[in-house]
Structure 1
Amino acid sequence: MAWINKCRDWLLWLGLYLWVLSGTIILTINATWLYWLNAQFQHLGAIVNLSTGRLMTNYFQLLAYLNFPWVRSLKMRDFTDSTSALIHFADVKNLFMLDIVVFIITSVTTYLFFQQLKRRQQLWRFVLPMQTALWVPPIVAAIMAVNFDQFFVFFHRVLFRNADWLFDPLYDRIILVLPDTFFMQCFVLAIVIMEWTFAYYLSIGKRALQAL
C-alpha cells in the first residue's frame, strides 16, 4: 500500500503546481490594468482611430468571450475578424475553459492537501518542492530574454494545431492593438506571480520547520 500513498502524494503535489499555474494564467489574462497601461503609453487606440475608452470596450468584449462559457460568439464593437482569426480565438477560448476547470478542481485538492499537512504539522514539506520550483520561472525568463520572438512562436506551435494565430493586419485589425510587447509583459507578469507564490509557500514551510 506504500506505493499507493506515494502516488497519491505525487498527484497532490502535481495538483498544487497546476493550481499555481492555472491561477497565474487567470490572473494574467484578466490583468486589464496592464492592457490599459499599454493602450495609454503606446497610444494603441490612435493606430486604429479609436479612443482609449473605446478600445478598452472592445478589449473587454474579447475577454468576455474568452472567459465566459455562455458567450458563444465573439462580437467586438469595432473589429470584425476573418474566419481564421475567429477559429484562433475559439481555440484560445477552449484553452481558457480548460484552465478554469483545472483551477477549480486543483483549488479543492490543494486546499485539502494544505489542511492535511497543517493538521499533521507537516507544512515543512513545502520547503524542498518550493525551493526546486523557484528555479523554473527564472529559467523561463532567461529563455525569453535570449529571443522572445522565437519563444513566442514556439509557444504558439506547442499550443495550437494550426497557423491561424498568424493574423493579417489587413483583415484582422485587432492584431494592431495587441503588440508583441504587451504579450511579453504578460509573460513577465506571470513569471512574477508564480515566483512570488512559490516564495510564499517556501516561507510557510520554513516557518513550520523552525517551529519544530
Structure 2
Amino acid sequence: MKNIYKIIVSILMCAIIILWSILFTIKFKHIYYFSIDKFKIHSDSSLEKYEIKNNYNYLIDYLTSNNTSEFKLPTLSSSPEGTHHFIEVKNIFYFIKTAFYVCYFSFICISLFLLSKGIRILKEALKLSSIFLLSLIGSICFSFINFQKSFDIFHNIMFKNDYWMFYPEKDPIINILPEGFFALCFFFILLLIFINSIIMLIFSRNSN
C-alpha cells in the first residue's frame, strides 16, 4: 500500500509542477515584451510597441480570466473563426487552472492523511517525481528539432477545426504572434520544470 501512495503522490507532484509551469509562463508577460524586439514584431506588423502590448495584454487577460464578455481586441479586427479559436483556447486554460487546483488540494489532503497515519513517503516521492520530470524533459526536447511540425501536430490534436490557421488579412493579430515567441514560451516552461525537478532531487537526497 505504501508504494501505491508513493506513486499517487508522485503523479500529483508531477502534475502540479507541469501545470504551474504552464500557468506561470502564460501570465509572465515579460517573455512577450522581450520577444517584441527579439523577433522585430513591431517592424513586421507595422504597429507601434504600445499598440502591440495593449493588444497582447488584452488577449492574455481575456484568456486567463473568468470574464465571459465578447472577445474584442483594442485596435485589431478579428474574424468569427479567430474569435472562436480564442474562446477554445480560453476553455483549455480554464481546464488547466482547474486541474492545477484539483491536483494541489488533492496533494495536500493525501499528505495530511499520510502524516496522520505515520506513513513517510515524501522523500521517495520527491526522487521519483524528479526522475520522471527530467526524463520527460529529455524526451520533449526532441520537439525543438522541428518545432514548427510539433506546433502543428499539437494544434491538430487539441482542436477539431482549422480555425487556428490564421490569415493576416482576416486576423491581423497573427502578425504580432510569431512562431519564435511560442518556441520561447515552450522553452521557458521546460526550464521551470527542470529547475523544480532539480530542487526536488536535492531535497530528496538531503532531507530526512
**Fold agreement, TM-score > 0.5:** yes
Q: Which has the higher contact order (CA 8 A, sep 6+)?
A: 2
Quote the residue 1:168 is aligned against.
Answer: 167
Deviation at 1:21, TM superposition (A): 1.5
CA 1:11–1:85: 2 relative to 1, 3 Å = same
The alignment partner of 1:169 has SS state of coil
Query: How many corresponding residue pairs?
Result: 205
- Structure 2 spans left out of the alignment, 5+ residues: none
Are the equivalent residues in 2 in contact too, given 1:137–1:191 (CA < 8 A)?
A: yes
**Mapping 1:104-119, distance limit 5 Å:** 104-114=101-111
Question: Who is 2:85 aligned against?
Answer: 88
Tell me by how many angstroms 1:193 deviates: 0.6
Deviation at 1:59, TM superposition (A): 0.7
Worse overlay, 170-179 or 110-119: 110-119
1:57 aligns with 2:59: no
Task: Write the distance in 1 (CA, Å) between the matches of 2:68 and 2:46.
Answer: 27
C-alpha displacement at 1:42, in angstroms? 2.7
Q: Label 1:154 to 1:87 Cα distance change in 2 as closer, same or farther (>3 A).
A: same
CA–CA distance in 2 between the matches of 1:193 and 1:57? 27
Is residue 18 of structure 2 the alignment partner of residue 21 of structure 1? yes
TM-score (norm 2): 0.89
CA offset at residue 133 of structure 1? Answer: 2.3
Identical amino acids, percent of aligned pairs: 21
**CA–CA distance in structure 1, aligned partners of residues 70 and 196 of structure 2:** 34
- 1:194 paired with 2:199, answer no
| Structure 1 stretches lacking a partner, 5+ long | none
Partner of 1:34: 31
Tell me, yes or no, if the aligned pair for 2:39 and 2:180 is still in contact at 8 Å: no
* Residues 90, 32 of structure 1: alpha-carbon distance in 2 compared, 3 angstrom cutoff: same
Give how far 1:46 is off.
Answer: 3.3
- Let me know the Cα RMSD of the aligned residues: 2.1
Cα separation, 2, equivalents of 1:133 and 1:47: 37
